[in-house]
Amino acid sequence: MKLLKWFSFRGKGDKSIARKQQFIAQKISRRYCFSAVSFFALQSVVALLGSLDLVIPDLPSPIPFEFGRAIHLGLADLWPLIGTMGMVFFFTTAELNREIYSPRLARWQYWIVMLFSVSIFGTLALRIGNGREFLEGMPIFYVGICLALALASYNLIRTLLTDKRNITPASATMTVGIIFLFLLLLPNTITYRNPITDEVTKFWVVHLWEEMAFELTSAGFIATFYVVSGLAPRAQVEKWLYLEASMAVVGGFYGTGHHYYWIGFPAVWLAVGSLVSVVEVIPVGMLAIMTYKGLKSVKVRSNREKLTLWLLLSSVFYHLTGASLLGLFITIPWVNLYMHGTYVTSGHAHLALFGSLGFVVLAGCYYILSRGSEPTLKGYKRGVLAVCLLNGGLITMASALLVAGFMETYFWRILGMDFMEVRLLINPYLIMRVLGGAMFTLGNLLLSWRIFKAWQTTKYKK
Ligand code: HEM
Ligand code: HEM
């Protein structure tokens, strides 16, 4: 039996996940993914209005810019989190080929994470917040998100322990990722008087969530998908997974040092932060090589897998460029001294948070919500068009932000020109960002619609 299971899941181009019975956890994961995609659609609309507000200051708006920005940043963290929760349940059951420990807990977890996320956005819209960038909702709501993550961690640990001998590296990596998401958010549920402690714990979410915990959950999904679509043999994928997981943990922990440069930490972090950040780039490079080799030797035929791959390839591209290489450049202490907090950071943030993480979560959500239906050729082409619009929009937005950031660095930080004069000089680039944002929003709505259609078609399928 065990041997049979091995072959049913381990072969090259293994389609068994797609064909197998649907577990309850996999049905539940659809809710998470559906909500994540809906929040993503909302985020672009909010952000587009915000970016317009920056270039047309008297634009009538129901919410002041700072609260709109806070909602935008809250969404930027929370929709990938909700999508990731769904992906982890789906791919853990697929990897282990059995049900999770408690589907009921997974259902509760969904309502809890939704309740507290909506509470964060709702109260921010009512202008109630704490001003702590990225975590601007009231602290009590983050207790709720923590509770959801604690339930997920417990459920996944119990799932793995039910049959210890059959734990796969991908399922273990995803579980560890979820545990880290919980542990890193936990210190952020209380408030600190000491501003250094406050900043550091904030970066455990802003940086460590993205570059360590999400890195692990995404790696588990990528590994499973590469095996299923036949892009790489399991042995090779698992080798990469071990390396990626260990480097994400080591690189993530010490690499966070690049956020400690100017907040009152000892100077040794300038060296630790910059040197260890190099480690973060290695597994991404390996993933790119593995993907390149896979694409050269295998032809993916299913339209559903091809569209997932378009989204994944976009993610690999930005992971390597906008996140890793650009991140490494702004990590150099002499560069960071001048560029810190300029629009270059915003360019990197969009390329990394959406480009790298957002695309991977969308790939997972699309794959899960379209399970059991192949898109028509027309549907597939529209999906590809949506991905192109998202890419075109993101590249336009990020290029405009990078130029604006370099100008800020030179005119404001180096030449010492007046802030407002510089602000006028960069205005054309902020207008260009609005145009990029419009293209991005169009791609977003088109893709969300495609995913919605896939969800509708597969809604009642067993
Ligand atoms: C998927 C991976 C990544 C994500 C999602 C990500 C996301 C972000 C975000 C959202 C910020 C803005 C933080 C803020 O406004 O305070 C930021 C800043 C920063 N990131 Fe990343 N990042 C990633 C990878 C990297 C890597 C690999 C490096 C370095 C090798 C890096 C270096 C930096 C630095 C130095 C800053 C601070 C810039 C400043 O001082 O203003 N990032 N990142
Ligand atoms: C229509 C698309 C989007 C537009 C027009 C847009 C616009 C904006 C604006 C106006 C800000 C305020 C600060 C600034 O001026 O840069 C901002 C910040 C930010 N956005 Fe977006 N955004 C978009 C999509 C996204 C997506 C999809 C994500 C991630 C999932 C994201 C993540 C962020 C982050 C992390 C920051 C903080 C950057 C920093 O540290 O300075 N944005 N965005």
In the chain, what percentage of residues exceed pLDDT 90?
78
* Residue 389, pLDDT above cutoff 70: yes
In this prediction, residue 9 carries a pLDDT of: 35
The vertex-447 CA angle with 359 and 231, nearest 5°, equals 50
Any domain includes 159:
yes
* Residue 14, pLDDT above cutoff 50: no
Pocket flag, ligand 2, residue 315 (CB < 6 Å): no
Q: What is the mean pLDDT of residues 449-461?
A: 87
Most informative mutation of 84, 350, 361, 423 for ligand 2 (most atoms within 8 A of CB): 350
Helix (H, G, I), strand (E, B) or coil at 342: coil
In this prediction, residue 6 carries a pLDDT of: 33
* Residue 385, pLDDT above cutoff 90: yes
Ligand 2 centroid–CA 196 distance in Å is 25
Residue closest by Cα to atom 26 of ligand 2: 354
Ligand 1 centroid–CA 76 distance in Å is 14
Any domain includes 422:
yes
In the chain, what percentage of residues exceed pLDDT 70?
95
90 CB-contact burial (10 Å; exposed 0-12 / middle 13-18 / buried 19+): buried
Band of residue 16 on the pLDDT scale cut at 50, 70, 90: very low
Q: From the alpha carbon of 75, which atom of ligand 2 is closest?
A: 30
In this prediction, residue 270 carries a pLDDT of: 94
Pocket flag, ligand 2, residue 166 (CB < 6 Å): no
Ligand 1 centroid–CA 439 distance in Å is 24
Please answer whether residues 340 and 262 qualify as being in contact, where contact means their C-beta atoms are separated by less than 8 angstroms: yes
Ligand 1 centroid–CA 263 distance in Å is 15
Helix (H, G, I), strand (E, B) or coil at 340: coil
Ligand that comes closest to the CA of residue 341: 1
Any domain includes 13:
no
Any domain includes 3:
no
* Structural domain that includes position 353: 21-458
Any domain includes 15:
no
Alpha carbon 243 to chain centroid, angstroms: 20
Decide which of 444 and 131 is more confident.
Answer: 444
350-376 pLDDT tens trace: 999 999 999 999 999 999 999 988 899
Please answer whether residues 261 and 270 qualify as being in contact, where contact means their C-beta atoms are separated by less than 8 angstroms: yes
277-316 pLDDT tens trace: 888 888 888 889 888 888 888 888 799 999 999 999 999 9
Contacts of 298 (CB under 8 A, 6+ apart): 13, 229, 230, 231
Enter the tokens of residue 223: 């590994």
Ligand 2 centroid–CA 62 distance in Å is 19
In this prediction, residue 330 carries a pLDDT of: 97
Pocket flag, ligand 2, residue 311 (CB < 6 Å): no
Pocket flag, ligand 1, residue 95 (CB < 6 Å): no
Any domain includes 1:
no
Most informative mutation of 345, 357, 401 for ligand 1 (most atoms within 8 A of CB): 345
Q: From the alpha carbon of 40, which atom of ligand 2 is closest?
A: 27
> What is the chain's mean pLDDT, rounded?
92
Structural domain count, the chain: 1
Helix (H, G, I), strand (E, B) or coil at 341: coil
Q: What is the mean pLDDT of residues 389-404?
A: 98
Any domain includes 209:
yes
Q: What is the mean pLDDT of residues 25-38?
A: 97
Pocket flag, ligand 1, residue 336 (CB < 6 Å): yes
Q: From the alpha carbon of 430, which atom of ligand 2 is closest?
A: 15
* Residue 335, pLDDT above cutoff 70: yes
Pocket flag, ligand 2, residue 440 (CB < 6 Å): yes
* Residue 158, pLDDT above cutoff 80: yes
Any domain includes 206:
yes
Pocket flag, ligand 1, residue 69 (CB < 6 Å): no
Pocket flag, ligand 2, residue 312 (CB < 6 Å): no
Ligand 1 centroid–CA 137 distance in Å is 22
Pocket flag, ligand 1, residue 77 (CB < 6 Å): no
Q: Please identify which residue in the block is written with the tokens 């790696």.
A: 219
Enter the tokens of residue 409: 């660095």
In this prediction, residue 17 carries a pLDDT of: 45
Report CA Rg, the chain: 22
202-250 pLDDT tens trace: 999 988 999 899 999 999 999 999 988 888 888 989 999 999 899 999 9
* Residue 384, pLDDT above cutoff 90: yes
pTM: 0.94
Please answer whether residues 367 and 304 qualify as being in contact, where contact means their C-beta atoms are separated by less than 8 angstroms: yes
Residue closest by Cα to atom 25 of ligand 2: 350
Q: From the alpha carbon of 277, which atom of ligand 1 is closest?
A: 30
Pocket flag, ligand 1, residue 251 (CB < 6 Å): no
* Residue 3, pLDDT above cutoff 60: no
Helix (H, G, I), strand (E, B) or coil at 62: coil
Pocket flag, ligand 2, residue 72 (CB < 6 Å): yes
CATH of the domain at 371: 1.20.210.10
- Cα–Cα distance, 406 to 404 (Å, whole number): 6
Residue closest by Cα to atom 14 of ligand 2: 346
Q: State the alpha helices, DSSP H only, in 134-194.
A: 139-162, 169-185
